[in-house]
Amino acid sequence: MSEAAGYDDLYSRARREGARARDALLARHAWLQSDVHAWPVGWAALVERLCGDIAKVLVETPLPGFRVDVIREKFGGLNVQWLPWPRPPDDQSVAGRRIAELVAAAVTQSLATCEICGRPGTERWLEGLPDREAATLCDEHAALTERA
């Protein structure tokens, strides 16, 4: 593996490709805010499925004022924030509970999905990277984070 194919470059590319996946979702779902953060492309299918499932819930049981204002990677896992408050367990609406379940399942899944390539991965704490505390990676991409 050359220097140019190191983890930092791969992660930058994964975020750029993730931004393209985000733009496609923004065009499809009005409740996705335009300032949602980017997520790495390894999770693109996972986030697309989550948004599709949320859209189905909203068709069946509309949730007035609903919007997702943050989707991002945080500490190696997917982080999703939405409005309105209150959220479960205070939110007794069917749609609110269902969306919370969908988000929780997606977060769990992100912690088992390589953020670079989408293959099975595990969450790892990173020592060699300056700006990242943790990442969920397959073995191949985890090996790239270890500096010689």
| Contact footprint for Zn ion (CB under 5 A) | 114, 116-117, 138, 141
Residue with Cβ nearer Zn ion (2 or 92) = 2
Q: What angle do CA 116, 106, 47 make, to 5 degrees?
A: 55
Nearest to 66 by CA among 75, 77, 57, 74: 57
* 3-class secondary-structure state, position 82: strand
Residue with Cβ nearer Zn ion (67 or 124) = 124
Q: Are 69 and 83 within 8 A, CB to CB? A: yes
Count Cα atoms within 13 angstroms, Cβ side, for 49: 12
**Shortest Å, Cβ 51 to Zn ion:** 23
**Shortest Å, Cβ 134 to Zn ion:** 15
Residue with Cβ nearer Zn ion (36 or 41) = 41
**Shortest Å, Cβ 116 to Zn ion:** 4
Residue with Cβ nearer Zn ion (36 or 116) = 116
DSSP code, position 22: H
Q: Are 72 and 15 within 8 A, CB to CB? A: no
- List of E strands, the chain: 67-74, 77-83, 122-125, 134-137
Residue with Cβ nearer Zn ion (63 or 136) = 136
**Shortest Å, Cβ 37 to Zn ion:** 21
**Shortest Å, Cβ 83 to Zn ion:** 33
